Amino acid sequence: MNELSDIASWLTTNSVHHESGVHASLPDPTFISEGKTFVSFSSNNYLALANHPRLVSAAKDGLDRYGVGNCESRLLGGDLDVYRELERRLGALKHKSDAVLFVTGYMTNIGVLSSLVKAGTMARLYGYRAVKRRKYVYYSDEFNHVSIREGIHMSGVPSHKYRHCDMGHLESLLKAAEGSTPIIVSDGVFSMEGTIAPIPDLVAIAEKYGAILYIDDAHATGVLGEHGGGTSEHFNCYSPNIIQMGTLSKAFGAIGGFVAVERDIADVIRLTSSAYGFTCPPPPDQAAALIAALDLLVEEPQRRQRLWDNQRYFVERMRPLGFELLSTETPIVPVLIGDAERCLNFAKALKAEGIHVDSVQFPAAPIGKARLRFMMNAGHTHEQIDHVVEVMGRIGA
Ligand SMILES: Cc1ncc(COP(=O)(O)O)c(C=O)c1O
């Protein structure tokens, strides 16, 4: 026996479940599980693109053309025209001249944040001589995604956590460490809170302190802004200082992650990040599907409009029920329940009515602040929303 088997038997004895069931189809937002039909109110498939016929057909063409995988690092023999085209398109969406593609969003954050601070060391191998060696320090919002926290930890440089979206606190930390090169990191839309980071304030602070700004737009890309460009488009606030990170597994319905930057910076990241150079990108059929998703973002703006219409419809109907809605700015509308067990019971009661909603508790949310994470979808009908609101009212009472 070792500790792993002790833990495994303890988890089994104490009935600790960490999966929400195995399903027979993906939420679009309706899905089948154990022979029953459910409506998901917690899917990242915001625009219901994951099974759009155009994406499916583009992926099939990609399979026919390239096969099922690329089997090699892009720095060696694995670079394909379809990746370059996808990167060019992602860069354009983010008003940058290039983008760097990674296998997932998670790997993007880990890969870029752990290595960004080592660019100087890498360049020295090629003969680069810096005027001065930089002392980097990370500044990270307390509610940033776990992949950000892990990437920063792996970098090995000092880091500070600032209170959620608290610019005063961020500045006080920056002032205390003058002389170093700060890297400020924030989710664009916070995945468990639904809040939007104050991008114009972050840009101003980054300029004032000579900082690099890294924005994780996983839940904003394709969702926020008139053209789905994310938080910068939402605020009409662009800056050469921003490294724009995004995932391709949410609004775009496939898999992958990227950072959008200017071309010269993209090359630095390609050289520096092991998560780019020492592993493979997403399979080429996914890249082909993602190019179709980018086309649809332009051709079918009604998807984004329906998403926001559904968000407003849901929020208006939930308000009179007396629940605390933690934020109502984005399609992520967390409903505070508080006690973790009560929250799980809510989710179970919703499931009995054919509705799936994530019950989010510690460590994904602070202790005592368990919540139902409602995520609105372009594919929801008003009838489905009326139903979930009616059930919430009934269970709440
Ligand atoms: C804010 C944020 N960043 C990064 C990720 C990771 O993205 P992916 O699922 O594409 O690996 C997620 C996914 O949940 C996320 O919510």
Distance of CA 120 from the midpoint of ligand 1 (Å): 28
Provide mean pLDDT across the span 254-271: 97
Judge whether 100 and 266 are in contact, CB under 8 Å: yes
Write the CB contacts of 58 (distance below 8 Å, at least 6 apart in sequence).
Answer: 285, 288, 289, 291, 292
Q: Which of the four pLDDT bands, split at 50, 70 and 90, describes residue 136? A: very high
According to the model, what pLDDT value does residue 179 have? 81
According to the model, what pLDDT value does residue 19 have? 63
**Residues facing 360 on adjacent strands:** 371
Distance of CA 390 from the midpoint of ligand 1 (Å): 31
Distance of CA 197 from the midpoint of ligand 1 (Å): 16
β-pair type (324-325, 332-338): antiparallel
Distance of CA 218 from the midpoint of ligand 1 (Å): 6
Catalytic residue check, 191: yes
**Could you report the per-residue pLDDT of 228-256, keeping only the tens digit for each?**
999 999 999 999 999 999 999 999 999 99
Kindly list the protein residues whose Cβ atom lies closer than 6 A to any atom of ligand 1.
Answer: 104-106, 109, 145, 147, 187, 191, 216, 218-219, 247, 249, 257
What is d(CA 32, CA 346) in angstroms, rounded to the nearest whole number?
Answer: 20
Pocket test for ligand 1, best of 42, 102, 106, 112 (most atoms within 8 A of CB): 106
According to the model, what pLDDT value does residue 130 have? 77
Is the link from the previous residue into 363 a cis peptide, with omega within 30 of 0? yes
Q: Is pLDDT above 80 for 341?
A: yes
Catalytic residue check, 250: yes
Judge whether 327 and 193 are in contact, CB under 8 Å: yes
Among residues 188, 183, 245, the alpha carbon closest in space to that of 220 is found at: 188
Judge whether 338 and 368 are in contact, CB under 8 Å: yes
Q: What is the pTM of this model?
A: 0.96
Between 313 and 363, residue with greater pLDDT: 313
According to the model, what pLDDT value does residue 18 have? 63
Provide mean pLDDT across the span 291-306: 98
Q: Is pLDDT above 90 for 397?
A: no
Burial string for 331-359 (b: 16+ CB within 10 Å, else e) reads bbbbbebeebeebbebbeebbeebbbbbb
DSSP3 helix / strand / coil % (the chain, rounded to 5): 45, 20, 40
Q: Which domains does the chain show, CATH number per domain?
A: 20-49+300-396 (3.90.1150.10), 53-298 (3.40.640.10)
The amino acid sitting at 6 is D
**Could you report the per-residue pLDDT of 79-114, keeping only the tens digit for each?**
999 999 999 999 999 999 999 999 999 999 999 999
Compute the mean pLDDT over every residue in the chain, rounded to the nearest whole number. 95
**Could you report the per-residue pLDDT of 142-184, keeping only the tens digit for each?**
999 999 999 999 999 999 999 999 999 999 999 998 789 999 9
The amino acid sitting at 333 is V
The length of the chain is 397
Is the link from the previous residue into 29 a cis peptide, with omega within 30 of 0? yes
Which pair of structure tokens corresponds to residue 97? 């001249």
**From 96, 160, 250, 356, active-site residue:** 250
Phi, psi of 33 (to 5 degrees): -145, 130
According to the model, what pLDDT value does residue 17 have? 64
What is d(CA 272, CA 115) in angstroms, rounded to the nearest whole number?
Answer: 6
Among residues 146, 147, 181, 140, the alpha carbon closest in space to that of 163 is found at: 140
How many Cα atoms are found within 13 Å in the side-chain-facing hemisphere of 66?
23
**From 52, 96, 145, 219, active-site residue:** 219
